Amino acid sequence: MKRVVVTGIGIISALGSDKNSTWKGLIEGKSGIKNISAFDTTDYTCKVAGEVRDFIPENFISKKEIKKMGRFAMFAIAASKMALEDAKLAVNEENENEIGVVVSSGIGGIEIMEKAHETLMEKGARRISPFTVPSMIVNMAAGNIAIEIGAKGPSKSITTACATGTNSIGDAYDMIRLGKAKVIVAGGAEASITPLSIASFCAAKTLSTAYNDTPEIASRPFDKKRDGFVMGEGAGVLILEDLDYALARNAKIYAEIVGYGETNDAYHITSPAPGGEGAVRAMQIALNGAHISEDKINYINAHGTATAVNDFTETLAIKKVFGQAAKNLYISSIKGAIGHSLGAAGGIEAAVTALAIKEGIVPPTINYENKDEDCDLNYVPNSFVKADIEYAMSNSFGFGGHNSVLVFKKY
């Protein structure tokens, strides 16, 4: 099996439309959560979100092509181009057949669907844009990236709700290990802060509603006064390379991926299995794949959505997997700072995990103020910690019972 390393990172989040501003904001304990500006929230129980406010698509995509795609695809392309630039990797005739794309979204172009339905109802079927379907469907994250950069290797989009980004990176890791590509652009993108999406999650009673007047503190992973997640948006993309290929071109290396676990709860469409059984197995599979014992992990980038059930269940699962070593772990959720970006979350969090290893810094869980007796581990509250991280884990769990876990190692 080939070894797989991370050589480039591209991030778009509520803290900024590039890797450096997002990382800087996380380390400084800033919040990107504000009152929603995209539409009128008068009738909504949740009025806050982690919107991307400084993104300029024209910096990455021609105006002609922008008209043909959803916002999630724009995020995906921009993050991929930034990741390639970071990796100092050019796609050309010599390598185009060896470079693949595995980038996806949990929801896709939902704003396209909403606008098209409005047009249909108000103006009739003949006024629907011919670009409606290709700008809306989830696979256009990968499709548009491949077209924009000229990557002719394997290309696909994997959708597993909130585990999408992590599954995309994990599958890309497996593909490189098996020799199906030398390089894969991998991650997730999402742009679902829309009227229908927010209304739907409000109806499901999963969003925070208690902090509409103080949005910066609305997302509170593991805090006793958490009352639901806050929607985020953006993209997280990694450049994964066959180690030999990366060394041959003298690429910088952020970290190595050494383990990947995926399971399903087969229990409920939205709630995790009692006791976190599926999450436990996913973490154990990832550790087994990395050929390490539990006590080797120094840091876990937690799924940590700030919902009552998820945070408790993830904590319980970590305790089951790590036993006494759980007390020695650094654990943090960056969703306190940027919200939960659904299909993009795993991509952004994998990128942050790789950065944490490279920089020797654990980003904090902000807004952690009230200790929950059921969530009693070290969540790195409110301030970053400097640490020598040899191994780190990134967790993602999605609606439908999907559990996905990556293990990273210092290179």
Residue range 91-122, pLDDT digits in tens: 999 999 999 999 999 999 999 999 999 999 99
Check if the beta carbon of residue 240 is closer than 8 Å to that of residue 4.
Answer: yes
Q: In sequence order, which residues have a C-beta less than 8 Å from that of residue 162 and are 6 or more positions away?
A: 106, 303, 305, 340, 342, 343, 345, 346, 396, 397, 398, 399, 402
Q: How confident is the model at residue 253 (pLDDT cuts 50, 70, 90)?
A: very high
CATH class of 4-248: alpha beta
What dihedral angle (degrees, nearest 10) is formed by the CA atoms of 5, 8, 11, 17? 170
Mean pLDDT along residues 24-28: 98
For the chain, which residues make up each domain, given as ranges?
Answer: 4-248, 259-409
% helix, strand, coil for the chain, step of 5: 40, 20, 40
Condensed to tens digits (0 to 9), the pLDDT of residues 312-323 reads 999 999 999 999
pLDDT at residue 26 in the model: 98
Enumerate the H helices of 188-276 as residue ranges: 195-203, 243-248
User: How close are the terminal C-alpha atoms of the chain, in Å?
Assistant: 17
Alpha carbon 97 to its chain centroid, in Å, reads 27
* Residue whose pair of structure tokens reads 């929230």 in the numeric block: 41
Tokens of 386: 């400097």
Q: How confident is the model at residue 369 (pLDDT cuts 50, 70, 90)?
A: very high
Question: Do the first three CATH levels of 4-248 and 259-409 match, i.e. the same topology?
Answer: yes
Strand partners, 229: 207
Indicate which residues carry an active-site annotation: 162, 303, 340
Residue 327 in 3-state DSSP? helix
How many residues would you count in the chain? 411
State the burial class of residue 126 (Cβ atoms within 10 Å of its Cβ: 0-12, 13-18, 19+): exposed
* Residue whose pair of structure tokens reads 């844009």 in the numeric block: 129
Instruction: Report how far residue 89's alpha carbon sits from residue 94's, in angstroms, rounded to the nearest whole number.
Output: 12
Q: How confident is the model at residue 310 (pLDDT cuts 50, 70, 90)?
A: very high
Check if the beta carbon of residue 343 is closer than 8 Å to that of residue 190.
Answer: yes
Q: Does the domain formed by 259-409 have CATH 3.90.1150.10?
A: no
Check if the beta carbon of residue 354 is closer than 8 Å to that of residue 176.
Answer: no
